[in-house]
């Protein structure tokens, strides 16, 4: 903006200076020419009285020599022949005889070009009635006298005006650019999670109003986040009473695999509620910038969660496969966030596919990205785009959810703790599970996509970016990893 303003000011000032300086210089040049020829006419007029009295050579020679122009060698007198007296030419003649004769015939003054300048030919009537011509030489230096100096002065004034206008425009540009830069920096800081970022309310009126609006917006964001944290903490705290009742009921179930699984699920739910309350009460909410230092081994987390879900899969007669977790796979996300996303995706499989439908988790690790594929052999998702929209999944594939919910009895307690109701649209689904996975992927610069799996059902692709790479390069590498992995059967 600053340099654009300087360029505009430079162009406008240059045009204005040229519009005034060039015509003024031409006027000065014309004035110098008029001044030179006016002086020549005055010198020629000084010989008029002498020619009207006498045409004697001696007298005319004396008159020419005593005049200013004659003394400088710039005057000549052309007297025609009168009776027995021959024609006379006194002084330094420069004009051609033909031009002199033409002036005598026309009877009016004229200017002709001669060597070294111009010649003014002025006719005068003498006593015999004939016409004598007085020639005054006007040198080129007289015609252009003072013109060069005037052009230089005008050029200097023009350059001074241009430099002055550029300096003023630069100062104005700085006055406008600095507040704009501060506004951009504050917006970037606010986007990075620095909620204390504010902008000084100074500068031009428009930028000052923008700063006031930005500061008001930032205050409102802080207020809304504080309210959201309090609301989340309060809502989570309300779950403690029903959780206490649920824990007491689970303790009275006695022994057995189902009772043990129920107690484990209740304990896990209590831990999650405690985590939500602590996070909501934290004065510094987590942001993408604040989580850059977090990380976990995706392979270890996936092995752990698959072991957890395999017990339920065995009860329902499901085949569970996992691949790509033999080596550590580091990703820049917190372990708890990855656990929540995986539980949401795997819970979807159990909630929204029929009993006995197989599922698999594949991990594809590359230099720039990690791909986690969760596939199942269910009936698929009719509208993947709607499933990825937060809160919209409750209207989808209700028939599939019915198949997945009938006849599970005590196992529903385990699945209910994982908030899996998302992609299939069971009754009571919040539509947040896929949104949890999507936000996790987007926090690293990746995304979530839903497609058709090789098992015949749904495939949820979780793409996690490891570093700041070009999206086109990362996506091409991701597709290549998926193709290579699909050629290798899961174990």
CATH number at residue 438: 3.30.565.10
When pLDDT is cut at 50, 70 and 90, the band that residue 236 belongs to is low
Q: Which of 148, 173, 189 is the last residue of a domain?
A: 148
In a domain, 144, yes or no: yes
In a domain, 173, yes or no: no
Q: What is the pLDDT of residues 50-60, one digit of tens each?
A: 888 887 888 88
When pLDDT is cut at 50, 70 and 90, the band that residue 275 belongs to is confident
- Could you list the residue range(s) of the whole structural domain that residue 223 is in? 207-283
80 and 18 assigned to the same domain: yes
> Is residue 123's pLDDT more than 70?
yes
In a domain, 56, yes or no: yes
Listed in sequence order, the residues at least 6 apart from 17 whose beta carbon sits closer than 8 Å to its beta carbon are 157, 158, 161, 162
Q: What is the pLDDT of residues 84-110, one digit of tens each?
A: 778 888 888 888 888 888 888 888 888
246 and 132 assigned to the same domain: no
Q: Which range, 122-131, 394-403, 475-484, is most confident? A: 122-131
> Is residue 152's pLDDT more than 70?
yes
Q: Classify strands 320-323 and 359-365 as parallel, antiparallel or unpaired.
A: parallel
Q: If you average pLDDT over residues 128-153, what whole number do you get?
A: 86
Per-residue three-class SS string for the chain? CHHHHHHHHHHHHHHHHHHHHHHHHHHHHHHHHHHHHHHHHHHHHCCHHHHHHCCCHHHHHHHHHHCHHHHCCCEEEEECCECCECCEEEECCCCCHHHHHHHHHHCCCEEEEECCEEEEEEEEECCCCCEEEEEEEEEHHHHCCCHHHHHHHHHHHHHHHHHHHHHHHHHHHHHHHHHHHHHHHHHHHHHCCCCCCCCCCCCCHHHHHHHHHHHHHHHHHHHHHHHHHHHHHHHHHHCHHHHHHHHHHHHCCCCCHHHHHHHHHHHHHHHHHHHHHHHHHCCCCCCCHHHCCCCEEHHHHHHHHHHHHHHHHHHCCCCEEEECCCCCCEECCCHHHHHHHHHHHHHHHHHHCCCCCCEEEEEEECCCEEEEEEEECCCCCCCHHHHHCCCCHHHCCHHHHHHHHCCCHHHHHHHHCCCCCCCCCCCCCCCCHHHHHHHHHHHCCCEEEEEECCCCCEEEEEEEECCCCCHHHHHHHHHHHHHHHHCCCCC
133 and 248 assigned to the same domain: no
User: Has this prediction a pTM greater than 0.85?
Assistant: no
In a domain, 184, yes or no: no
> Is residue 270's pLDDT more than 70?
yes
Q: If you average pLDDT over residues 385-404, what whole number do you get?
A: 48
When pLDDT is cut at 50, 70 and 90, the band that residue 400 belongs to is very low
When pLDDT is cut at 50, 70 and 90, the band that residue 432 belongs to is low
**Structural domain count, the chain:** 3
Longest pairwise C-alpha distance within the chain = 163
Percentage of the residues of the chain whose pLDDT score is greater than 90: 13
In a domain, 180, yes or no: no
In a domain, 435, yes or no: yes
Residues 182 and 188: beta-carbon distance below 8 Å: no
Tokens of 35: 């001044």
When pLDDT is cut at 50, 70 and 90, the band that residue 320 belongs to is very high
In a domain, 186, yes or no: no
Counting every residue written for the chain, the total comes to 491
269 and 300 assigned to the same domain: no
CATH number at residue 260: 1.10.287.130
96 and 143 assigned to the same domain: yes
* The pLDDT of residue 362: 94
317 and 435 assigned to the same domain: yes
> Is residue 468's pLDDT more than 60?
no
> Is residue 318's pLDDT more than 80?
yes
* The pLDDT of residue 476: 52
253 and 144 assigned to the same domain: no
> Is residue 478's pLDDT more than 90?
no
Torsion sign across C-alpha atoms 449, 450, 451, 457? positive
Tokens of 100: 């002199």
When pLDDT is cut at 50, 70 and 90, the band that residue 391 belongs to is very low
The overall average pLDDT reported for the chain is 77
Q: What is the pLDDT of residues 276-317, one digit of tens each?
A: 766 666 644 444 434 444 688 999 999 999 998 888 888 889
* The pLDDT of residue 269: 79
Q: If you average pLDDT over residues 178-198, what whole number do you get?
A: 85
CATH number at residue 71: 3.30.450.20
* The pLDDT of residue 433: 67
* The pLDDT of residue 394: 41
């Amino acid at each position: 903006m600053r340099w654009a303003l300087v360029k505009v000011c430079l162009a406008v000032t240059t045009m204005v200076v040229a519009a005034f300086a060039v015509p003024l210089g031409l006027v000065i040049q014309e004035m110098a020419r008029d001044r030179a020829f006016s002086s020549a006419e005055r010198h020629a007029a000084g010989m008029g009285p002498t020619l009207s009295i006498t045409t004697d050579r001696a007298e005319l020679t004396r008159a020419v020599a005593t005049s200013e122009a004659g003394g400088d060698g710039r005057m000549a007198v052309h007297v025609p022949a009168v009776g027995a007296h021959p024609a006379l030419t006194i002084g330094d003649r420069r004009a051609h005889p033909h031009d002199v004769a033409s002036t005598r015939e026309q009877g009016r003054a004229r200017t002709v070009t001669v060597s070294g300048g111009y010649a003014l030919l002025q006719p005068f009537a003498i006593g015999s009635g004939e016409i004598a011509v007085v020639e005054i030489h006007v040198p080129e230096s007289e015609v252009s006298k003072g013109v060069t100096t005037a052009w230089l002065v005008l050029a200097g004034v023009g350059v001074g005006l241009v430099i002055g206008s550029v300096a003023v425009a630069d100062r104005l540009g700085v006055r406008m650019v600095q507040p704009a830069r501060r506004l951009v920096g504050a917006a970037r800081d606010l986007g990075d999670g620095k909620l204390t970022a504010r902008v000084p309310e100074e500068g031009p009126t428009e930028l000052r109003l923008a700063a006031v609006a930005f500061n008001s917006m930032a205050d409102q964001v802080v207020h809304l986040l504080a309210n959201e944290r309090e609301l989340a903490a309060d809502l989570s705290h309300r779950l403690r009473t029903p959780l206490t009742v649920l824990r007491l009921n689970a303790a009275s179930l006695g022994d057995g695999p189902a009772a043990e699984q129920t107690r484990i699920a209740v304990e896990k739910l209590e831990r999650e509620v405690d985590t939500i309350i602590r996070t909501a009460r934290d004065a510094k909410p987590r942001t993408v910038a604040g989580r850059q230092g977090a990380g976990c081994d995706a392979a270890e987390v996936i092995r752990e969660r698959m072991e957890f879900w395999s017990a339920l899969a065995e009860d329902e007669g499901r085949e569970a496969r996992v691949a790509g977790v033999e080596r550590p796979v580091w990703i820049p996300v917190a372990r708890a966030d990855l656990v929540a996303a995986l539980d949401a995706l795997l819970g979807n499989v159990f909630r929204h596919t029929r009993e006995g439908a197989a599922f698999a988790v594949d991990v594809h690790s590359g230099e720039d990205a990690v791909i986690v594929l969760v596939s199942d052999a269910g009936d698929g998702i009719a509208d993947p785009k709607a499933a990825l929209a937060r809160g919209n999944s409750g209207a989808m594939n209700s028939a599939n959810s019915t198949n997945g919910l009938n006849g599970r009895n005590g196992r529903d307690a385990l699945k209910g703790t994982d908030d899996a109701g998302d992609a299939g649209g069971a009754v009571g689904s919040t539509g947040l599970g896929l949104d949890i996975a999507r936000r996790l992927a987007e926090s690293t610069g990746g995304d979530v996509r839903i497609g058709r799996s090789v098992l015949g059902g749904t495939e949820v692709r979780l793409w996690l970016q490891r570093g700041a790479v070009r999206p086109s390069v990362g996506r091409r590498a991701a597709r290549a990893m998926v193709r290579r992995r699909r050629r290798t059967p899961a174990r």
